[in-house]
Amino acid sequence: MNTRNNFIDNFFHQYFSTITTKIAQIDVLSLQKAVEIILTANEIGKKIIFIGNGGSAAMASHCSVDFTKAANIRSINFNEADLLTCFANDYGYENWVARALEAYADQGDVVVLISSSGRSPNIINGAAQARKMSLPIITLSGFTPDNPLRNLGDVNFWCDSEAYNVVEMTHHVWLLSIVDYIIHCKSI
């Protein structure tokens, strides 16, 4: 039993140490640039559009609500089943994000694209559509440093890990740190 307890203890200590290290590897200048992009859009009445797949879609939902409710930054996400299935059915899954941006994004909106691998075709095509529409783009990716999404934004956040949960939790903390920063700035 003692060996099992030691394994459990070591696993969790290492796990949280890894996540803490990844979170702390953020480039603060990139965070500042993301804040500037978001606040500029907000000042001119534009919105933030969060997009992801799977766990990153859940994160997009959470962040869009927190940006709207807590930071008073108008935000949306594309996680409605009818939108996603309609656009994926009519245009192909790899094109649904691009087509949704074409339909819902306004000039000056900010697009936040989240993909742990940085290789999701629908997210990559969404970045291309956002660029075509001259929309500011913030990307969050992980896994390999040469993933294609990592270089498609105006600000690109990358988590140096190939573990989905580590990448997703790191992305989540980074995004919510922007919410908390904006809340803090409004209170002073």
Which CATH number characterizes residue 40's domain? 3.40.50.10490
In this prediction, residue 4 carries a pLDDT of: 79
Asked if 78 and 49 count as a contact pair (C-beta separation under 8 A), the reply is yes
In this prediction, residue 8 carries a pLDDT of: 86
The reported pTM is 0.96
In this prediction, residue 1 carries a pLDDT of: 59
150-188 pLDDT, tens digit per residue, is 999 999 999 999 999 999 999 999 999 999 999 999 888
Give how many domains the chain has, as a whole number: 1
Instruction: List the domain range (segments joined by +) for residue 63.
Output: 2-187
